[in-house]
Structure 1
Amino acid sequence: MRPIEFELERLVMAPIDEVFARIIDIDGYDDWLTGTQSMLVQTRQTSAGEPAVGTTFVDITRRGTMPGEIAELEAPTLVVFHWWQRSAAGRTAIEGWPSYHLSPSGHDQTVVRHRGRLEPHGIWLLGAPVLRRIAVKERTITVDALQASFARGARAG
C-alpha cells in the first residue's frame, strides 16, 4: 500500500526566520497549540542542544506516547520530522513524516506548505482511510494554530 500523503498551505503574517524558529522550537509547541482540539497533550525535546538533524523529541498524545526526531533541516526553508508508534509487541505500527516547506511572500509574510506523510504497518493498514481523516484533521489544527499564533503574538521561540 502506498503511504497516506496530503498537503496543506497557509499564509503566515510573519517573516520566514520567525516562522522557521517557531516550527523548530519543539518545547514551544505547547505554547501555541494550547486551547486547540489537537491530540497533542505535550511535546518536549529529549536531546540536548539546538534543533538539528537527529534531535529527538517525544509527543505525548491522547493516543499514547510517540518518540520522534528531526529527519531533515535546511534553515529557514525546510524541516521534516519523523515520529513512530510501536505496537505492544514492539513492532512499528505507524510512522509519520510531517514536513514544513517555507518560502517568503511579500513583506513579512511566509507561505507554509505542510506535507503530511503517514505509513501504517501490519494490521494498521486496514485502518488507512480512517487514519487519513485523523491525520488531515490533526495537521490542519496544527497549521491553523501556527498561523494564528503569529496573529495573537504567541512566543516566538
Structure 2
Amino acid sequence: MGVIEFQLTRTIPAGIDDVFARLADIEGYNEWMPGAGSMLRGTTLTSPGAPALGTTYLDDTSFGPTPGEITEFEPPHTLVYHWWNRTKAGRLTVEGWPAYQLEATPDGTTLVRHHAEVRTYGLYRLATPFLRRIAKKERTATLAALAASFEPRRRADG
C-alpha cells in the first residue's frame, strides 16, 4: 500500500456555521467547484435527506465516477469524507479521506485545517508519486474555491 498524507490550512472569509454548511452541502459543490482548477465535474447526492453521517454521493471526475460517503459529521467543527475506486472485479485501487477541522476566529472568519489522506493498492502503488501531485493540486483548488465562494461577486454593470 502507498500512502499520501498532508495538511493545508486556509482562512475563509465567513463564519464557521456557513463554512461547515457549504462543505457539507454535497450538491452545492456543483455551484462553486467545477472550473476552479479541479478534476471535479459534478457531484450527485445518492442518499436521501440532509447531509449527515453516512450520507452517500457520487463524484463525476476527470478520472471517472467516484463514490463516497460522509464518515465523520460533527457540526460545525468536523467533517470527513471517504471516497474510493475499485476495479471491475471489485478490488480496491485508491481511496481517500478529505477531512476538515474548522475553528471560529475572533474576527468572524473560519480557520480551516484540511487533512488529506490517500491510499493506493496493488499496481496503483506505482502511481503514488504522481497521485501525490494530483492530490495536493486538487485539495489546494478546493480550499481556494471555497474561499472564493464567500467573496462578494462583482457586478458586470459596474
Q: Does 1:47 align with 2:11?
A: no
Shift of 1:108: 1.6
Larger radius of gyration: 2
Residue 92 (structure 2) aligns with: 92
Secondary structure in structure 2 of the residue aligned to 1:130: helix
Secondary structure in structure 1 of the residue aligned to 2:88: coil
TM-score w.r.t. the length of structure 1 is 0.94
Residue 104 (structure 2) aligns with: 104
Mapped partners of 2:67, 2:14: distance in 1? 30
Q: Does 1:66 align with 2:66?
A: yes
- Preserved CA contact (<8 Å) 2:2 2:120: no
C-alpha RMSD over aligned residues: 1.1
Mapped partners of 1:51, 1:118: distance in 2? 23
Structure 2 residue runs without a partner (length 5+)? 154-158
Residues 2-11 or 23-32, more deviating: 2-11
Q: Deviations over 1:60-112 (max 9, x none)?
A: 00101010000001110000000001123221110000011100112320000
Shift of 1:143: 0.6
Structure 1 residue runs without a partner (length 5+)? none
Instruction: Output the amino acid matched with 2:82.
Output: H
- Preserved CA contact (<8 Å) 2:34 2:42: no
Q: How many residues align?
A: 153
Q: Which runs of 4+ in 1 moved over 2 A?
A: none
Shift of 1:2: 5.4
Shift of 1:44: 1.3
Q: Deviations over 1:25-82 (max 9, x none)?
A: 0000010113312100010111001111110000000101010000001110000000
- What does 1:77-156 align with in structure 2 at a 5 Å threshold? 77-152=77-152
Residues 85-94 or 16-25, more deviating: 85-94
